[in-house]
Amino acid sequence: MTCLLCQTVLSSELTLPKIFSFQRLNNSKVCRKCFNRFVKLSDMKTCRYCGRRIFGNLNDPCQDCIKWQHYFKKPFANRALFEYNDAMRAYMKQYKFLGDYRLRNVFNRLIVSELKAMRCPVVVIPVNESTLQERGFNQVLGLCEGIQPVNCLRTRQGKKESRQSEKNRLQRLNVNQPFELIDHESELIREKTIVVVDDVYTTGTTIRHAAGLLYRAGARCVKGFTLAR
């Protein structure tokens, strides 16, 4: 077996350090050198509202979240697993934009383990039909393979907008509501705590649009969960 990221042949020798190391989490899909390039946010001080790495007081929201508190009044906090560094950027390019679906396996086992531990219904951020046809898959669903999400959100029909990844920060913040509820499915989230999952938290606009709709559908509480921040 070779590393999914660098194609180096992976050692098949099973040792105690391997059993209790990162390979227990990623099921030996990538080599240690590649995996260590990803920075785990659990080892860092992070904003408790968005999961961003911070260097100040843990009890204070970061500057982005201070601004969000003026616009989004419902309770919301996001948890991210990794920092969006150069290694994560390269990974997302290969997986998401170049369509290497095998790369879902780099983080799938870890993400599924974390989501199952939360014991909440999961809602995955949807992609529009044209993106799905072009890419061939929803990258977030791929990362969550093994979890049965509640399919209560879809992208709104109508004028096609550019992808979030093609927009600058201001354009992302100013985007209109891109989602709508699927009525017959939304009953499944009423009065429940929901986890909404996306791949990358950038400005927080996309995941909060989704959270707002879930609250409107009757969710008791909505939390965010992303691979990277």
| pLDDT tens-digit map of 200-209 | 999 999 999 9
| pLDDT tens-digit map of 18-72 | 555 544 444 568 999 999 999 999 989 999 999 999 987 878 899 999 999 999 9
Q: Which helix (H) or strand (E) holds 199?
A: strand 193-200
**Residue 93 has what DSSP assignment?**
I
Whole-number Å distance between alpha carbons of 178 and 39: 31
Domains and CATH numbers, the chain: 37-157+175-228 (3.40.50)
User: Left if phi > 0, otherwise alpha if psi is -120 to 50, otherwise beta: which for 28?
Assistant: left
| H helix runs in 136-204, sequence order | 139-143, 169-173, 183-186
- Residue in 30, 37, 160 with CA at minimum distance from that of residue 108: 30
- Residue in 92, 73, 70 with CA at minimum distance from that of residue 83: 92
| pLDDT tens-digit map of 65-110 | 999 999 999 999 999 999 999 999 999 999 999 999 999 999 999 9
